[in-house]
Chain A
Amino acid sequence: MNRELFVHNSIVIRNSKVYKNGQLIFEAETDLSISKFLKKIYKQQELKYPKFFKMDNLSKLGYLGVELLTHGDIQDKETALVFANSSSSLETDTAYAETMNEFPSPSLFVYTLPNIMLGEISIRHQLRSENVFFISEDFDPGLFVDYSKALFQQKKVVNVLCGWVDLHNNEYDVFLWQIALSGGKKFNEEELKKLYLPTHE
């Protein structure tokens, strides 16, 4: 199968702002800590998911991004998750390492892998699908295009949710989008760059 693929919706979370399909949908004060910024999105969206407060900031970014992208509703429980970032789970790794001097924190330890975020998203949406998490130096559209196309070509999926969710030194960069067999913009490297770059400074 070599059918054309399309990008449905996209979300960008960057510099205290949230964009959906290129439109600004939320903005917070720029001096907020990341924890307060994420909590503000959670409250503004009137989400009811107490487990949010137990997540590390990387998982919170992924969880919130998917809620905003999908309106909290992923119909196809076989939707594959293809995610990547450049900093892995370094923020949480560091926080956990600091607790090791005294009492190692079990609740931090369980987030010391970046793909735990995919587990959180899968639990939230009861997905029973393929998922993969890549580490690449920078946002690499080709990686997402090649891997996602392979999934479709192998007829493993009819929907894929992709994400670049990076967090380092309290700087976050989130870009999520959905791919399907019809509708929206064409799914290729050029379109992905355009969707990712406009607000990227």
Chain B
Amino acid sequence: MSDLHTELKKSIIEQLNLEDMEVSEIENDEHLFGDGLGLDSIDALELIVLLEKDYGIKLSDPNQGKEIFNSINTMADFIEKNRTR
């Protein structure tokens, strides 16, 4: 697991107040929404803020979110390719 993957898991737990969850409990390919972590629409907005705040990425097309926020793997891939900080 890369540092970015671990960093993302820590940020998600902290930013989304997943108090009872540990980094080791989130699988890289686990769905973040629906049956996986069970995140909701407000969490999706927080993830968009997280991308901009921590990695300088502003989503131009909100519809991209569905693919980007599919899992930790898809988020990390997108950040690697688009980060400005």
Contacts and interface: CB of A to CB of B under 8 A. Distances in A.
Interface of A: 50, 53-54, 102-107, 110
B19 interface: yes
B82 to A, nearest CB: 18
Contact of B46 (A50, A102, A105): A105
B17 A110 contact: no
A172 B49 CA distance: 31
A103 B53 contact: yes
A17 to B, nearest CB: 24
Nearest to B21: A50
Nearest to A54: B17
Interface of B: 16-20, 42-43, 45-46, 49, 52-53
B52 A106 contact: no
Given A50-B18, A106-B49, 13 more contacts: A53-B17, A53-B19, A53-B20, A54-B16, A54-B17, A54-B42, A104-B49, A106-B42, A106-B45, A106-B46, A107-B16, A107-B45, A107-B46
Contacts of A107: 16-17, 42-43, 45-46
Contacts of A53: 17-20
A107 B49 CA distance: 11
A190 B17 CA distance: 42
Contacts of A50: 18-20
A105 B16 CA distance: 11
**Considering residues B16, B19, B43, B52, which has the most beta carbons from chain A within 10 angstroms of its beta carbon?**
B19
A73 B22 CA distance: 30
Contacts of B45: 106-107
A110 B17 CA distance: 15
A106 to B, nearest CB: 4
B19 A110 contact: no
A99 B43 CA distance: 16
Nearest to A52: B19
A50 B43 CA distance: 14
Contacts of B43: 107
Nearest to A39: B19
A110 B41 CA distance: 11
